[in-house]
Amino acid sequence: MSAKRTLLIDCGNTYLKWCLLDGENLTEQQSIKHKDASVLEVYKDLLDNQTQQCDSLVIVSVLGEVFIAGAQKLAEDAGLSFIEAHSQQKLGNITNGYHQVGNLGSDRMLAMIGAYQLVNKSGDGSDKNQQACIVIDSGTATTIDAVDKTGQHLGGVIFPGFELSLHSLSANTELLPKLDLTTQQNDEYFEANGLATDTPQAIASGCLLSLASAIDGICNKMQRQLEARSNTKSPVKRVLCGGVAKTILPYLENDYDYRENLIMLGLKKVKETESNND
């Protein structure tokens, strides 16, 4: 009988994303929208479909303790060992930079773990030629975090994502049209140079370009800080993930490495660490 796999889950504000860890390999990341449904029902359906293949589950969630308690019970009822990845002083290859370590979003820490692992061969800060990185997660909210070459998190920022910006503008103005993102989030609604010729295009382009400019500008500031801390000329890698990442990537002016499964790579590292500690 083949070895069982591990189910890796990233439960965000809008989507439940998941993949399987099979030995050293990750399957392709998949996602299920839960925003307009019961997230525990969506989660249970996923478990029902994957339980026969898996013996363990590693999860990161932004949905709070009530969801995690329900998720743990459903996993254990299904016979799966349950690991919740959460922020702490040091997790995987990253040292938390927050004064109150538990206040750092667990998804942010997992993304940093995955990014640092990607840009460095050993991933543990032991090589003097390690690279610093900036980690951007662009989804419902946008987060940007700076990690130096030793794996020390220096801090970061949080600001509204693309859809939140659109909804905020629509909700607080009387005359501007409401945009349906399911039909209008495509290239014809984005004017790369800001020269929109109708109101829906002006709104969509303004929100997207302001997000792109914010990401570029904040990353530039962070890069200067990281370069000032470094004793080498190693470049600072910018790694981008999140549900809006593919949409915004063409409008960014600097170089970014797009990795859809960044948080999954972080969850994989947590699973490996747990296994080594057993």
pLDDT of residue 135: 98
pLDDT of residue 204: 85
Contact 113, 270 (CB under 8 A): yes
Whether the pLDDT of residue 231 is over 90: the answer is: no
**Considering 107, 137, 145, 148, which one is annotated as catalytic?**
107
Using 50, 70 and 90 to split pLDDT, how confident is the model at 275?
confident
Q: Which residues touch 242 (CB under 8 Å, ≥6 apart)? A: 136, 137, 138, 139, 142, 161
**Highest-confidence segment of 32-41, 91-100, 166-175, 223-232:** 91-100
DSSP annotation string for 119-176: HSSS-SS-STT---EEEEEESSEEEEEEE-TTSBEEEEEEEE-HHHHHHHHHHT-SSS
Using 50, 70 and 90 to split pLDDT, how confident is the model at 189?
confident
pLDDT of residue 126: 55
Fold of 5-84: Nucleotidyltransferase; domain 5 (3.30.420)
Contact 121, 105 (CB under 8 A): no
Nearest to 21 by CA among 239, 240, 272, 259: 272
For CA atoms 262, 263, 268, 269, give the dihedral sign.
positive
∠ CA 52-55-60 to the nearest 5 degrees? 110
The DSSP output letter for 252 is -
Q: What does the pLDDT look like over 106-129, one tens digit per residue? A: 999 999 999 999 999 755 555 567
pLDDT of residue 185: 47
Work out the number of other CB atoms within 10 angstroms of the CB of residue 163. Answer: 18
Whether the pLDDT of residue 241 is over 70: the answer is: yes
For CA atoms 153, 155, 156, 157, give the dihedral sign.
positive
- Separation between Cα atoms, residue 162 and residue 269, nearest integer Å: 30
Q: What does the pLDDT look like over 36-77, one tens digit per residue? A: 778 999 999 999 998 888 999 999 999 989 999 999 999 999
The reply to whether 257 belongs to the active site is no
Pairing state of beta strands 15-22 and 30-33?
antiparallel
Say what the pTM is.
0.88
SS3 category, 28: coil
SS3 category, 230: coil
Whether the pLDDT of residue 167 is over 90: the answer is: no
